[in-house]
Every structure is written in C-alpha cells, then in structure tokens.
Amino acid sequence: MNNLARVEEHPMVAEPSPASDPFVRIEGLTVTFTGGRKPVRAVGGVDLDVQRGEVIALIGESGSGKSVTLRSLLRLHAPRRTQMAGRLQVGGRDVLAMGTRELADYRGKVCSMIFQEPLLALDPVYTVGAQIVESILRHESIGREQARQRALELFERVRIPSPERRLAAYPHEMSGGMRQRAMIALALACRPQLLLADEPTTALDATVQIQVLLLLRELQRELGLSVIFVTHDIGAAVEVADRVAVMYAGRIVEEGPVRQVIRTPRHPYTQALLRSRAHGAMARGQPLQTIAGAPPDLSALPDGCAFAERCPQAEPACREGAAMPIRWVASSHQVRCRRAEGPSS
C-alpha cells in the first residue's frame, strides 16, 4: 500500500450526484463549549451524509471531535454550556429544533446509542432487564410482560447465555463483554433507525472485540440500520464500515469508501494515522512511527490548515488564510488539503 501517493496523479472531479436523499444530513455543524475560561470549538463545521442502511466510521485521535459530533445527534451536551449551530436532520426531522417532548420521543425510538463504557451508562441500582423493559414501555403502548418478552428475545439475539437469568442481573454482575452485549440490546430495544456507536469495543479484550464487531455488523444488516461508528481502531473501521470519515481538530479532513481511503489515503494526516499502526508488513522489533507534535488548541486554532504544524508536506501557504474547504478528488472521495488541488504554482 502506497500511503504517500502524490495527489497530482489524481485530477479533481465533479461532486457526484447523490443517489437518494440521505437519512442523516449534517451540514455546517459547529459545537462550542463555553463553560471554561475560553470558548472551545470542539466541532468546527462538519458536513456528513448517511444513507439508509449505511455504516460510516469516524476515526481520528482523541480530541478530534468524533464523540462530540456523535452526541450532537442526540443533543446530549449540556445546553447551558454548549452552543450548537448548523443543520442536523435525521429522517427529515430537524434535531436542533426539537422541543423537550419531541426530543424524548426521538431518543431511543428513532436514534439510539451504544456508549463506550456500559458500566457507566447503565444504572447500577436497577437490573439490566428492568432498564430495557422501562425503555420499551416509554416508547411503545404494550404491556410489561410483552416488553419483558422482547427484552428476553433481544438477549437471545445478541447471544447472551442464560438470557432469562441475565435479565435479573445488575450491571456489575456481568462481564465486560456481556455488559456490552446488554448495552447493544438496550440500544435496539425500541427498534431505532439510526444507531450511534461510541467506541463500543475499547474496554474489551481482543477476542471479545471481534465478537462484538461481527455481531454489530450482522445486526445492522439484518435490521437495515444506519450506523455511525466512532473508533480509534482502523482495523475495526475496515471490519464494519462502508465509508470512513477522518476527523482532525473538529473537522473532517478526508472522507470516502473505506477501502479506497485505506488503500490510497490522500490527506497527510490519514497517511500518518495508517503509518502509526501495527500491521503485518512490519518487521519484528521495528518501532511504530508516530505523528510528531500534538493537536492544536481548539480555543485558539491557527490560520490555514490545523494540521500544518505537524505535516511533513506543509508549505507556507498551508499556514495562511481560512481553513481549506473539502474537495472531491475522486468519485465519492473528498479531501481537505490544498495539495489535492494539484501541483503548487
């Protein structure tokens, strides 16, 4: 894999026409946290579409804005300390314009989330089964026994052994892998159309990670879910995603079909991420390559490209003016880099 393929070899192309209206449309999303000494713009203008039944992975370093973007789709940020702007549409509904009741109906029923650490996401004083039943009763007009039966079926679907007994278990009585499967069952309890997964395998050992990833992909195909999947693990993105969006300093810097982006990365940051992971071609004892420097301060972003100070290919023009807009460089492949425009003049 040639991670340093020159962008000049790929001429600019016209933006492809969308096949259909996307189920999720994010346009110009900005999220600014105002609780500290300085406002912090954690997300600085994200545009992303997700089709029905499509899986998109958001990857990047910690602090790049992945989880903030994900949580914005459920409006989970504290409203008194958060300013959100732009457009967030799910199934044609304006998420930012929803009132309290509409938002409560939307959460869980239309859009649900698998959190990174289920031990913190699940209530420790209620059994797991009771929490799933309560969620179903909140959104559907069915009896408690019917809701319990569905919870049991969900436990069977996510392959939790002895499901009847596990319904009566408290979160701390289950292993990490079992809790994560229970979290998936809870997220699917009200038959949502959009599933958000925030690094759902980070706290699990390698064997369980693979099992959970395969389970998620299987359920996604079976139920026809749209999924946005946040991960640090590029291997996990390849395993589950149809497309990948690479985020840096609150913006998407590269986006396209997962295998195209992995095989021919066009942004220097994507190339650096791929070089910094262990892979089969590495010689034994060879050290991992790292990305020099650190991400920029989101309360005082520099002019030009936010990655310029860490980029080995940066030119003086990269540090000047406004942030580079994202460009189509191939069919369904976008890059936010001035080198993608062609040779320097």
Contact call for residues 96 and 27 (beta carbons, < 8 A): no
Q: Assess contact for 92 and 162: CB atoms under 8 A.
A: no
Strand order in the sheet with 55-59: 111-114, 194-198, 226-231, 55-59, 243-248, 251-257, 333-335, 327-330
pLDDT in tens, 15-28: 555 556 899 999 99
Q: What is the overall mean pLDDT for the chain?
A: 88
Provide the pLDDT confidence category of residue 97 given band limits of 50, 70 and 90.
very high
Higher pLDDT, 17 or 221: 221
CB atoms within 10 A of CB 31: 22
The pLDDT score that the predictor gives to residue 12 is 44
Asked which of 2-16, 50-64, 168-182 is least confident by mean pLDDT, the reply is: 2-16
Q: Is the confidence at residue 265, as pLDDT, over 50?
A: yes
Could you read off the pLDDT of 124-177 as tens digits, one per residue? 999 999 999 999 999 999 999 999 999 999 999 999 999 999 999 999 999 988
Task: Give, in order, the Cα–Cα distances in Å from 82 to each of 42, 76, 102, 149.
Answer: 10, 10, 20, 40
Give the residue extent of every domain in the chain.
119-191
Q: pLDDT by residue (tens digit) across 275-311?
A: 887 664 555 667 778 888 899 999 999 899 999 999 9
Look up tokens 């949502």; give the residue. Answer: 192
pTM of the model: 0.88
Q: Note the pLDDT of residue 261.
A: 93
Contacts of 35 (CB under 8 A, 6+ apart): 78, 81
Cα end-to-end span (Å), the chain:
28
pLDDT in the model for residue 341: 57
Residue 8 has pLDDT above 60, yes or no: no
As to burial, measured by CB atoms within 10 angstroms (0-12 exposed, 13-18 middle, 19+ buried), residue 117 is: middle
Kind and range of the H or E run holding 70? helix 66-72
